[in-house]
């Protein structure tokens, strides 16, 4: 009886901690997508917070599974994360995020969570998953140059005097529309052997057509159709009024990025509970993702408005072109991370995009000292969270006698 009470007590504590982590993510990591639209007076702060909550929660439900599985089972080999270990890892990660929020230092959520879960896994007696670390490290190292490079190209396109905004903005919309056609969603029926499918993939599965090597012609046609439709929609809006067209694109882009942010961030809160909910409790995956999405929804509705007001002023100073240049690569990289199951810190992508967009105008707009400080705190967060996670679990196990 006592053992059962302890177990369910740990389940309750772990679930509440996961909700708290998701709340913090919803309040902070999902705010940047709508900040440019607020700065351009395209949407009010409260309406943006409402939309962020809904869209990020939907993204968490339909796209959060892959990263959640990596965080919960892919970081350590040889052991399963227990409810006590999950609680220790989540409390460690949340403490690091809280420190970053209240101190103003750049503490990335993905680094804190990854480090904490590696620490508790090692404390359990697990073996480092070296191959997973290699994939994650490679992706993290590629984020700044790829995000910055894409932002630089996007900002350069928008700044060209020989390409009017009635063409450049619709072209970006076409790129986004083509990517949207290929994002994987759990609500779309998937072929055997796959967990998720995209709109283009689903169409390719139901319409028989010859393939060109490894390229499915139906998927290509659907992708191009979505790109053309997106181009024409924003093109008509910009032709009627450039200001209206740009604001419309900002709203649509912000919505898609907020959706992607939810899908890429929820796994940081739910991943530690994968073994507890899936194996020990025998619950389907969507139950755990629902817990995370509820936390993200609450965080966005309750905590995002204050942060949105601050970040919208920053984006207003950056300008519309540079804001768009930062969000486009954010969307693309977030979706790539979801496909690969790589935990990422969304704010890090946006920071790299802001720097790259600034370089297109001749200045990054961010001091070298600030960049160096950010990089140092990223590394410190990862290393320190491993040590703290290891120690917190050992302390919990000692106090509870196991």
pLDDT digits (tens, 9 = 90+) for 4-33: 777 788 888 889 989 988 988 887 777 777
Phi/psi of residue 107, each to 5°? -100, 105
User: Which pLDDT value is given to residue 4?
Assistant: 73
The candidate with the shortest Cα–Cα distance to 345, out of 139, 198, 123, 65, is 139
C-alpha–C-alpha distance, residues 40 and 320, integer Å: 7
Mean per-residue pLDDT for 169-182?
93
- Percentage of residues of the chain with pLDDT beyond 70: 89
Is residue 22 within 8 A of residue 269, CB to CB? The reply is yes
Return the pLDDT at 1: 42
Question: What is the domain partition of the chain in residue ranges?
Answer: 2-400
360 and 156 Cβ atoms separated by less than 8 Å: yes
Average pLDDT of span 311-338: 79
What does the DSSP 8-state code read for residue 129?
-
pLDDT in tens, 108-134: 888 999 999 999 999 999 999 999 999
For 177-196, how does the pLDDT look when each residue is reduced to its tens digit (9 = 90+)? 999 999 988 888 766 656 66
Q: How far apart are CA 309 and CA 303, in angstroms?
A: 11
Q: What is the pLDDT of the chain when averaged over all its residues? A: 84
Task: For 237-296, write each residue's pLDDT tens digit.
Answer: 999 998 888 888 988 998 998 899 899 989 999 999 998 898 888 888 889 999 999 999
Asked if 310 contacts 36 with a C-beta cutoff of 8 angstroms, the reply is: no
The H or E element spanning position 226 is helix 217-240
Q: Is the dihedral of CA 68, 70, 71, 76 positive or negative?
A: positive
Query: Residue 191: its pLDDT value, please?
Result: 65
């Amino acid at each position: 009886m006592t053992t059962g009470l302890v177990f369910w007590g740990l389940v309750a504590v772990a679930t509440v901690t996961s909700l708290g982590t998701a709340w913090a993510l919803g309040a902070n990591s999902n705010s940047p997508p709508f900040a440019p639209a607020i700065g351009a007076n395209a949407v009010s702060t409260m309406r943006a917070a409402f939309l962020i909550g809904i869209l990020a929660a939907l993204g968490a439900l339909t796209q959060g599974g892959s990263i959640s599985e990596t965080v919960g089972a892919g970081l350590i080999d040889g052991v399963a994360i227990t409810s006590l270990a999950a609680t220790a890892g989540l409390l460690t990660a949340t403490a690091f995020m809280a420190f970053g929020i209240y101190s103003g230092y750049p503490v990335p959520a993905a680094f804190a969570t990854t480090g904490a879960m590696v620490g508790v896994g090692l404390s359990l007696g697990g073996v480092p998953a070296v191959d997973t670390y290699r994939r994650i490290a490679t992706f993290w190292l590629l984020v700044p140059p790829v995000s910055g490079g894409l932002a630089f190209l996007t900002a350069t396109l928008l700044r060209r005097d020989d390409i009017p905004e009635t063409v450049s903005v619709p072209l970006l919309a076409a790129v986004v529309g083509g990517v949207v056609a290929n994002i994987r969603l759990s609500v779309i029926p998937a072929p055997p052997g796959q967990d998720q499918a995209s709109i283009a993939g689903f169409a390719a599965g139901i319409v028989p057509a010859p393939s060109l090597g490894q390229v499915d012609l139906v998927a290509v046609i659907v992708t191009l159709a979505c790109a053309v439709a997106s181009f024409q929609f924003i093109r008509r809006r910009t032709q009627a009024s450039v200001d209206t067209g740009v604001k419309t694109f900002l709203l649509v882009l912000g919505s898609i990025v907020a959706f992607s942010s939810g899908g890429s961030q929820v796994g940081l809160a739910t991943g530690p509970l994968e073994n507890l909910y899936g194996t020990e409790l025998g619950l389907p995956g969507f139950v755990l993702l629902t817990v995370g999405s509820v936390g993200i929804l609450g965080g966005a509705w309750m905590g995002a408005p204050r942060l949105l007001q601050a970040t919208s002023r920053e984006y207003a100073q950056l300008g519309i072109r540079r804001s768009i240049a930062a969000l486009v690569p954010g969307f693309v990289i977030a979706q790539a991370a979801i496909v690969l199951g790589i935990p990422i810190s969304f704010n890090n992508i946006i920071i790299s995009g802001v720097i790259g967009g600034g370089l297109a105008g001749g200045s990054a707009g961010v001091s070298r000292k600030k960049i160096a400080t950010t990089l140092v705190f990223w590394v410190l967060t990862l290393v320190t969270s491993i040590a703290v996670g290891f120690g917190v679990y050992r302390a919990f196990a000692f106090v509870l006698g196991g």
